[in-house]
Chains A and B, each alone.
Chain A
Amino acid sequence: QKEVEQDPGPLSVPEGAIVSLNCTYSNSAFQYFMWYRQYSRKGPELLMYTYSSGNKEDGRFTAQVDKSSKYISLFIRDSQPSDSATYLCAMSAAGRRALTFGSGTRLQVQP
């Protein structure tokens, strides 16, 4: 079983929809959680960074962490065709240098 599970998709939604992307994890030591967006043939771009449980909002993006359920989410409001990309969750434990990534969810926003 992988440490981080993420549905690969593709997830197809109409423009303007609210998108929910999720990851589950098994390592209770994870405390630092990130969401990256990767366009085809580009490097990942950091979207959200949260520590421990709770919510964090930045523009159209909201990240949620539920450590009791070992579940993290990224919500995208008013989705746009330009949001079409692969979204990777990543996490780390205290003292660990490397990140553990999910496999990525491919999102397609249809105009």
Chain B
Amino acid sequence: GAVVSQHPSWVICKSGTSVKIECRSLDFQATTMFWYRQFPKQSLMLMATSNEGSKATYEQGVEKDKFLINHASLTLSTLTVTSAHPEDSSFYICSARETGYEQYFGPGTRLTVT
């Protein structure tokens, strides 16, 4: 149980284009979903927290107009990187929680912007 999927697992896009990443909880309803960014050999950096049907709460320093988060249902959240630039290249990971404090993570999406 507690499986979270992400799609796509990797994506290459050109500078200036937008990319959408989907995060789904497959066997539970996620009251809260989280989006993280991770650079090589570094820990997870929380970008934003979202509850179903509400606006996301962004961490300090994360541009909400650049990283659009939509949590349309209890099983789906999307992260759209708008007008992507090479510095946005990173590993993006989502997680979801039901009612407890533990989070279940997706497999991650590797974004490369050329």
A contacts, CB < 8 Å to B: 32, 34, 36, 41-46, 49, 88, 90, 92, 96-99, 101-104
How many A-B residue pairs lie within 8 Å, measured between CB atoms? 51
Contact B102–A98 (Cβ < 8 Å): no
Q: Of all chain B residues, which has the CB nearest A44?
A: B105
A–B Cβ pairs within 8 angstroms, 17 of them? A32-B101, A32-B102, A34-B102, A41-B108, A42-B108, A43-B6, A43-B93, A43-B95, A43-B106, A44-B105, A45-B105, A46-B102, A88-B43, A88-B44, A90-B103, A97-B49, A99-B103
User: Chain B, interface size: which category?
Assistant: 20 to 34
Contact A36–B105 (Cβ < 8 Å): yes
Residues on A with beta carbons closer than 8 Å to the beta carbon of B91? 41
B104 at the interface (CB under 8 A from A): yes
- A97 to B100 Cα, complex, angstroms: 9
B contacts, CB < 8 Å to A: 2, 4, 6, 32, 34, 42-44, 46, 49, 91, 93, 95, 97, 100-108, 110
Contact B49–A102 (Cβ < 8 Å): no
- A110 to B107 Cα, complex, angstroms: 26
